[in-house]
Copies of this chain bind each other. A is one copy, B any other.
Amino acid sequence: MQHESMKIPYSAVHPGTEATEIFFYNDCKDVFETLKKGREVLAYDGSFLRTEEIRRVYVTDTNVAALPQVHQFLESIPDSSVSIVLDAGEEAKTFENVLKIVTKAIDAGMTRTSVFTGIGGGVITDMTAMAASLFKRGAGLELVPTTLLAMVDASIGGKTGCDFQNYKNMIGTFYPASRIFMATEFLQFLPEKEYKSGLAEVVKMAMLYAPKLFMILSEQKDAVDRRDPETLMDMVLRSSRSKAAVVERDLMESGERKQLNLGHTFGHALETCAGLGVVTHGDAVAWGCARAMELSCRLGLTEDDSWKNDVFALLERYGWCTEPQHPALSALKLSREETAARLLAAMKNDKKNKDKNICCILQREMNSTVIQDVKDEDILAVLA
């Protein structure tokens, strides 16, 4: 049963996709039914195709392909479509894999009206979207996010990409999907570590825009932890609505959308310094949110420490590190000062920063976000 659907219209976007439509379901099977069902879909060139005539390149990874529901579905796709199963994990987020998807499409004789359909977590949805944007300068794109991170964050908003030279998402494009299908049932199959990684993005969305969501996370930890279906749908809907609203207003991240990087400037630096894949993205973002709040207080943006304390309390209740230096950094075997300097250098190379000071996303309080350049010494102060 379809739970709800929403539509994000864009003012500036690739052809054939004036909007991203997002569909919410409880059960996985409803997503696959919809993919099988005949349904009119706008093709790249503006003409309408029925879905049963659409030739698709299904992209997934070994973990997702092993789920019985997905396995069964991929076995049943028509001969005119193809599927490719990539290795799972952040280490697989390479340009070589993006080209593998493109090659699959070339070998199958796909065209610009064909549709790339990514079924998986953020790594798969980002790479599928990047391949779709590059193939013959742009083919159709649909996403079926299967992780909490991909549902609430990665799949919405048109950012595509892969890692390059040990930098996360160093290359990529803006290329929104025409349709996104979310089934919260997928979240029941996630390993605890991945589920928790996604939760950090939910916390971030709550801090930025959704007081009610912050309350749910604080007060219903048990339901969140045991993945109560209603609570999952509530979290996914509230997070998606907030994200959709922001990217609708600022798809290209020239202003407001930068707020979504709360916790990410610090977080990406941690991921880079610890080595890609060592810390989960969520753990890094949660730690980054704590650092951002510490910095907000240090810079006098907050009236007092109460909002920082609320955030720290929530993060710690879920077991996230709020300390200046994340435990994963101890493997570097550097002094605290050297570690802080290493993090700062990684931040300088992060794509959101201009030539000089680091641009940080900070908060005065819940729902009140500030973007400003911060001096190196202040950043080092909250990292040492």
A residues bordering B, Cβ < 8 Å? Answer: 11-16, 44-46, 55, 95, 99, 102-103, 106, 109, 111-114, 133-138, 159-161, 164-165, 167, 169-174, 252-255, 348-349, 351-355
Contact across chains for A14 and B102 when beta carbons are under 8 A apart: no
List, in ascending order, chain B residues with CB within 8 A of A113's CB.
354-355
| Closest B residue, CB atoms, query A161 | B137
With A159-B137, A172-B137 as contacts: A15 and B355 at CB distance below 8 Å: no
Tell which of B133, B159, B354 touches A111, judged by Cβ atoms closer than 8 Å. Answer: B354
Contact across chains for A102 and B46 when beta carbons are under 8 A apart: no
Nearest-neighbour CB distance to chain B for A113, whole angstroms, equals 6
A44-B254, A45-B354, A111-B355 given. 4 additional CB < 8 A pairs?
Answer: A12-B13, A14-B252, A95-B99, A134-B171
| Closest B residue, CB atoms, query A251 | B15
Contact across chains for A165 and B103 when beta carbons are under 8 A apart: yes
Number of copies of this chain that the complex holds: 2
List, in ascending order, chain B residues with CB within 8 A of A112's CB.
351-352, 354
Nearest-neighbour CB distance to chain B for A70, whole angstroms, equals 26
Contact across chains for A111 and B172 when beta carbons are under 8 A apart: no
List, in ascending order, chain B residues with CB within 8 A of A106's CB.
164-165, 167, 170, 349
Tell which of B109, B252, B352 touches A15, judged by Cβ atoms closer than 8 Å. Answer: B252
With A111-B353, A137-B159 as contacts: A171 and B102 at CB distance below 8 Å: yes
With A137-B159, A161-B137 as contacts: A15 and B254 at CB distance below 8 Å: yes
Nearest-neighbour CB distance to chain B for A126, whole angstroms, equals 11
- Inter-chain CA distance A12–B158, complex, in Å, is 14
List, in ascending order, chain B residues with CB within 8 A of A169's CB.
137
| Closest B residue, CB atoms, query A159 | B137
* Smallest CB-CB A-B distances: 7 pairs: A136-B351, A15-B252, A134-B171, A15-B254, A137-B172, A12-B12, A46-B254
Contact across chains for B174 and A136 when beta carbons are under 8 A apart: no
Nearest-neighbour CB distance to chain B for A14, whole angstroms, equals 7
- Inter-chain CA distance A13–B15, complex, in Å, is 11
